[in-house]
Structures are given as C-alpha cells and as structure tokens.
Amino acid sequence: MPVGRLTIELSIEHAQSIKDRRPVVRSLKDKLRHGFNVSVAELDDASLWNRATSGAAAISGSADYVTGQLREVDEAAQRIAAGLGAEVRDSFMEILD
C-alpha cells in the first residue's frame, strides 16, 4: 500500500517572534488537513522564527492517486502560504511502497 509524504519548507519574513510564526503554521496545517483529508504536522523545533517545516502524509491503494493528491496539496500550500504572508521556499515529495 503506497504512502506518500510531502515536506514543505516555509519562509515567514514578517515573523519577529514565535508568536508571529505560530498562526501562519497553524493556519496552513488546518487548511491542508481539512481541505485534503491528509495528515499534517510541523516538523521542526521552531528555533528559527522566520522559517518553518511542515509535512503532509497520505495513504491509498494507488500510488498514482497519492502522487496526484500530494501535488494538489503542494499547489494549495503555495497559495495558502502566499495569503498568509509566507512563501514556500522548497517542497519535496516521496512515495513509499
């Protein structure tokens, strides 16, 4: 059964503290989780205020389905991040069989 994982690295230039960073990361996680029914988690320890790494995971009976779903999640993450004043600096996907 294929499992897909998407890692998203964000740049939050306006963040001057952890309090500025937190709502951006939380909002992105919530919107992706509810919009695509994928598992989403923050992956870093929040030591840098203007950077964040999040991950999304999906499982299905079809590798093509998981790949397509995570591509849509990636595109949505870029739109959502831009709306929150952040930028997706890098993203990468891996499908595990």
Q: How far apart are CA 79 and CA 30, in angstroms?
A: 14
pLDDT digits (tens, 9 = 90+) for 27-60: 999 999 999 999 999 998 777 789 999 999 999 9
Reported as type and span, the H/E element at residue 3 is strand 3-11
pLDDT value at position 44? 83
- CATH number of the 3-96 domain: 3.30.70.1120
Is the distance from CB of 71 to CB of 90 less than 8 angstroms?
Answer: no
**Locate tokens 């790494």: which residue?**
53
Question: Quick one: DSSP state of residue 56?
Answer: E
pLDDT value at position 97? 84
Nearest Cα to 71, choosing from 44, 53, 95?
Answer: 95
The domain locations on the chain are 3-96
User: Structure pTM?
Assistant: 0.91
